[in-house]
Structure 1
Amino acid sequence: MEAELEMIEKNNTWQLVERPFNKPVISVKWVYKTKLNLDGTVQKNKARLVAKGYSQKPGIDYNETFAPVARLDTIRTLIALAAQKEWHLYQLDVKSAFLNGVLKEEVYVEQP
């Protein structure tokens, strides 16, 4: 949990403000996951702080949503092209990439 909160603070994900009485506030919860090794032993425990966005109402709390992910047919095309051209493929994971989005509107979230 400490690592998650450190990453949130490091990325300036939020700013502590007085709770507004005229704005909806989204509550949060902790989600825990245990990552296992192939032999079944515990590799590490992970904790993620998630906003309960499912409580928001379209047209009231937000107007549109967007998730920057590639379509499956685009990925398949790129892999086929790489195979044809004998290119090397590499994979990467951007840790806490979801924390780097910029919002145009103000969103209020409860403190954990």
Structure 2
Amino acid sequence: MMALVVHFELEFHQMDMKTTFLNGNLDKEDYMVQFEGFQESSSENLVCRLKKSLYGLKQAYRQWYLKFDEIVTSMGSEENKVDKCIYLKISDSKFIFLMLYVDDILLSSNDVGLLHETKKLLSKNFNMKDLGDASFVLGIKICRDKS
């Protein structure tokens, strides 16, 4: 994707998801024991029913991905058939790629307006931090000189 960004002189931005796994909905009932120190003396045997996914749950990544997929496809993006963490949205001659890596989202587009519109939609649905131009991805420092 970085090669395409450079070759076609695309915009390349990055967003970070805050509280990523809390966005996933649980599709079955899950319970956890009470935290040590939060138990009342008369209710030590009670458990907590989880309504949302938590960090550390085996299904947390999957539930987060399903929620992300639901929102992004409802925005008109299509999931890549080979790599299910890459999405493409085409609108006339404009296009945008969304690439998901755990809680980071890379966006590359040939149109700044579509890029900002997509960022707004993501921020409306999730608690996002806009990092602007991508500068550091998967241990790779990105330095662009568009001239």
State the structure with bigger RCO (CA 8 A, min sep 6), 1 or 2: 1
Question: What TM-score, normalized by structure 2, do the two folds share?
Answer: 0.22
Structure having the larger proportion of residues in strand: 2
The TM-score with structure 1 as length reference comes to: 0.28
